């Protein structure tokens, strides 16, 4: 799949304004569960045949002295939706960082509970995915793990704006301050992987923050209640990939 198509797929998959649903229903339970994704739709065959799939268990990273990520946070959040797969915030294309001499801009971010990736076998109660694209349409996802602890003001703002009904798109009047969703120390693990939802397209650069942020136990249970079910794809085999930090 060409990179531009990949972005189109990602945006259409997640776009809250798209009323047409994918023709095939996928989910995290029952007939549409992750072990069946690759058989549900011919264009989702990477879900079962891909060799560089996400999520993974991040173990024994190679020290590549990667510098901390410098993210410019000036996101103009546009809207929020609970689409039944995840809680997602669509943004106005403003937030960015440089990677391999290219600018990556934030398109949307969303949440998984429990976490999809693991770090040294450890699972986390919540993982945020910040989906970025460069001008060629290549994707980089910044992942942040949450632990239970102090209340997170950015999560409060998201939960306060959560639409009551599935697939209702709520416009955000005030921009969200995303800084509390990122750890102060932005060193990360890097690996090459895929989308963790159908069509499971590969060529996605994953930047998983080494450090965590917190949310309170009651914030976590509000998230779990909103999602109604776990929305984490199971771990995928590494197939010889190297993880760099
Ligand atoms: Zn995700």
State pLDDT tens for residues 160-192: 999 989 999 999 888 888 999 999 999 999 999
* pLDDT over 60 at 21, yes or no: no
Please list, residue by residue across 144-175, b when 16 or more beta carbons sit within 10 angstroms of its beta carbon and e when fewer do: bbbeeeeebebbebbbebebeeeeebeebeee
- Centre of ligand 1 to C-alpha 234, Å, is 12
Active-site residue, 85 included: yes
* Percent above pLDDT 90 for the chain: 79
Please list, residue by residue across 123-142, b when 16 or more beta carbons sit within 10 angstroms of its beta carbon and e when fewer do: ebbbbbbbbbbbeeebbbbb
The encoded tokens of residue 75 equal 């996101």
Give the pLDDT score at 24. 76
- State the Cα–Cα distance between residues 89 and 108, nearest whole angstrom: 6
* pLDDT over 50 at 19, yes or no: no
Residue 235 covered by a domain: no
Residue 70 covered by a domain: yes
- Centre of ligand 1 to C-alpha 85, Å, is 10
Please count the helices (runs of H) and the strands (runs of E) in the chain: 5, 12
Q: Is the peptide bond before 178 cis (omega within 30 degrees of 0)?
A: no
- Centre of ligand 1 to C-alpha 111, Å, is 6
Nearest residue to 158 (alpha-carbon basis) of 108, 219, 112: 219
Q: Are 232 and 114 in contact (CB under 8 A)?
A: yes
Residue 239 covered by a domain: no
Structural domain total, the chain: 1
Nearest residue to 17 (alpha-carbon basis) of 75, 74, 77, 78: 78
Give the pLDDT score at 188. 98
* pLDDT over 70 at 84, yes or no: yes
Give the pLDDT score at 6. 63
Nearest residue to 98 (alpha-carbon basis) of 143, 68, 63, 56: 68
Residue 245 covered by a domain: no
- Centre of ligand 1 to C-alpha 195, Å, is 7
Give the pLDDT score at 169. 93
* pLDDT over 50 at 15, yes or no: no
User: Can you give the CATH number for the domain in which 209 is found?
Assistant: 3.10.200.10
- Centre of ligand 1 to C-alpha 112, Å, is 6
Q: What is the DSSP letter of 130?
A: E
Q: Which residue range forms the structural domain that includes residue 159?
A: 3-227
CA distances from 146 to 111, 154, 204, 216, 229 (A): 10, 12, 22, 10, 18
Residue 243 covered by a domain: no
Nearest residue to 47 (alpha-carbon basis) of 202, 235, 203, 200: 200
* Percent above pLDDT 70 for the chain: 89
- Centre of ligand 1 to C-alpha 14, Å, is 10
Residue 214 covered by a domain: yes
Sign of CA dihedral 218, 234, 189, 105: negative
Residue 209 covered by a domain: yes
Residue 14 covered by a domain: yes
The catalytic residue among 25, 36, 74, 85 is: 85
Q: Work out the average pLDDT over 208-232.
A: 96
* Chain segment 87-141, per-residue pLDDT in tens: 999 887 667 999 999 999 999 999 999 999 999 999 999 999 999 999 999 999 9
Q: What is the DSSP letter of 121?
A: T
Q: Phi/psi at 91 (nearest 5 deg)?
A: -120, 170
């Amino acid at each position: 799949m060409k990179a531009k198509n990949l972005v189109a797929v990602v945006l259409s998959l997640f776009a809250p304004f798209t009323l047409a649903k994918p023709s095939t229903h996928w989910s995290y339970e029952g007939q549409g569960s992750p072990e069946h994704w690759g058989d549900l739709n011919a264009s989702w065959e990477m879900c079962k045949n891909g060799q560089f799939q996400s999520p993974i268990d991040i173990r024994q990273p190679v020290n590549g002295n990667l510098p901390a990520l410098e993210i410019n946070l000036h996101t103009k959040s546009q809207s929020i939706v609970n689409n039944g797969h995840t809680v997602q915030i669509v943004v106005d294309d403003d937030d960015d960082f440089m990677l391999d001499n290219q600018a990556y801009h934030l398109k949307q971010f969303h949440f998984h509970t429990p976490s999809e990736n693991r770090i040294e076998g450890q699972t986390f109660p919540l993982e945020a995915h910040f989906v970025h694209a460069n001008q060629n349409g290549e994707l980089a996802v910044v992942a942040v793990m949450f632990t239970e602890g102090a209340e997170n003001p950015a999560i409060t703002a998201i939960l306060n704006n959560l639409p009551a009904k599935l697939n209702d798109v709520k416009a955000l009047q005030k921009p969200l301050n995303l800084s509390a969703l990122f750890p102060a120390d932005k060193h990360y693990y890097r690996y090459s992987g895929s989308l963790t939802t159908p069509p499971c397209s590969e060529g996605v650069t994953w930047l998983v923050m080494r450090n965590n942020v917190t949310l309170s136990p009651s914030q976590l249970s509000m998230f779990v209640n909103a999602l109604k079910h776990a929305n984490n794809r199971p771990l995928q085999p590494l197939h010889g990939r190297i993880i760099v930090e």
